[in-house]
Amino acid sequence: MRLLRGLYNCPPELFKQGCVATIGNFDGVHLGHQAIIERLTDKADHYNLPSVVVLFEPHPQEYFRPDNIPARLFKLTDKVQALRQLGVDYVLCFRFNQEFAELRAEEFIRRVLVERLNVLHLFIGDDFKFGYQRQGDFDMLKELGEGLFTVEANHSVTLEVDNEHKRISSSLVREAIANNQFDLAERYLGRPYRVEGKVVHGDKQGREIGFSTANIPLKRRKSPLKGVYAVWVYGISASSLQEGRWPAVANVGNKPTLKQSPERLEVHLLNFSGDIYGQRIRIEPIDKLRGEQKFNSVDELKTQIAADIEAAKYIFNQKLKQSNHFDE
């Protein structure tokens, strides 16, 4: 798969024969998104054309409402990796800025969909809005695309939860994570929710208070995780002794006691010693231990961290007992 950043990196000859495309945010690449991508790649295979997903970065909501943005499930690299695994050929990512916000809907259709991508078939949500002041919609695409490309509405995917059929969406995944319902989030996503990143050097404050941590840049303005969690950590080279994962306690937030910002993810690996700087790891939250708190002193913070570790150990022991029970 190839990532194209803007029209400058998308030469017209690349799609001379045409393509099959879809446009959206695809945050989390949940089961609903996966169904769209399956239809996209099936149609592309049928016509022997490349499949293209068009994204915007940052998400338009982050541009227009920076003080009231939804938590982001995936950063761009996570999203691209998930789309690659689903068999997408190209991802075209536009930088959403003032110039792009002022692009009229008719111009977007002409310059992007027709002249540059040469779209022959487009999958889109029937409630999709685009262009300056959101003047473009599904009906405009069908009208202006007539004779050039066909437009097909995406289908919703629903899941029965508590005797109610719910339409799977990124908002629903965020809600499940915020409510500490990670099993439910996994059902919506089709896989466990995980945060991935490379371990970088931090300020060493965790080590100074007796609890060393691995620091992973979140690379998003707002995380769906907030507080302290028991987590599994995957990707540590030494973790083969524990079936590829390692128990840990993670903190996501601003560390108000130590007066730090912006949000960061720090992970304390239980009973672990070693150097993992530069390693790419994945963090899978299991259970929320508490929300983020500001303590009156560092000693008070240290006491709470020790209690968090004991609480996490209990959770992991219960999980392992359940796993052993099911294996019998």
The predicted-structure confidence for 96-110, as pLDDT tens digits, reads as follows 888 888 999 999 999
Q: Are strands 227-234 and 245-253 parallel, antiparallel or unpaired?
A: antiparallel
The answer to whether residues 25 and 103 belong to one domain is yes
The CA distance from 203 to 3, in Å, is: 34
Cα 198 to Cα 121: distance, rounded to the nearest angstrom: 38
Least Cα distance to 151 among 163, 140, 165 occurs for 140
Give the mean pLDDT of the chain.
89
Q: 184 and 244: one domain?
A: no
Task: From 192, 212, 244, give the residue that closes a domain.
Answer: 192
Dist. CA 160–CA 245, nearest whole Å: 31
CATH code of residue 35: 3.40.50.620
Whether residue 268 is found in the same domain as residue 125? no
Residues 102 and 144 placed together within one structural domain of the fold: yes
Q: CA-CA distances (angstroms) from residue 150 to 19, 130, 155, 300?
A: 12, 18, 16, 63
Does residue 112 share a domain with residue 25? yes
Pairing verdict, β 119-124 and 19-23: parallel
Residue 66 pLDDT more than 80?
no
Residues 81 and 28: beta-carbon distance below 8 Å: no
Question: Regarding beta strands 164-167 and 245-253, do their DSSP bridges make them parallel or antiparallel, or are they unpaired?
Answer: unpaired
Cα separation of 255 and 247, whole Å? Answer: 21
pLDDT of 38-53, one tens digit each? Answer: 999 999 999 999 999 9
**Cα–Cα distance measured from residue 148 to residue 136, given in angstroms and rounded to the nearest whole number:** 17
Number of domains the chain is built from = 3
Domain boundaries, position 77 = 2-155
198 and 140 co-located in one domain: no
Q: Which residue type, as a one-letter code, is found at position 108?
A: F
pLDDT of residue 324: 64
Report the side by side order of strands in the sheet with 119-124: 2-5, 90-95, 51-57, 19-23, 119-124, 150-153
pLDDT tens figures, 68-92 = 888 999 999 999 999 999 999 999 9
d(CA 175, CA 222): 14
Same domain as 318, residue 182: no
In this structure, the answer to whether residues 227 and 301 fall within a common structural domain is yes
pLDDT in tens, 250-291: 999 876 555 556 678 999 999 888 888 888 999 999 999 999
| Domain CATH code at residue 271 | 2.40.30.30
Q: Which regions of 78-190 does DSSP assign to beta strands (E)?
A: 90-95, 119-124, 150-153, 158-161, 164-167
**How many H-runs (helices) and E-runs (strands) does the chain carry?**
10, 14
Domain boundary among 126, 155, 184: 155
0.75 cut: is pTM over it? yes
Indicate if 24 and 145 belong to the same structural domain: yes
End-to-end CA distance of the chain: 42
Considering the domain architecture, whether residues 201 and 279 belong to the same structural domain is answered as yes
Domain shared by 39 and 104, yes or no? yes
Specify whether 44 is located in the same domain as 101. yes
Burial status of residue 69 (CB atoms within 10 A of its CB: 0-12, 13-18, 19 or more): middle
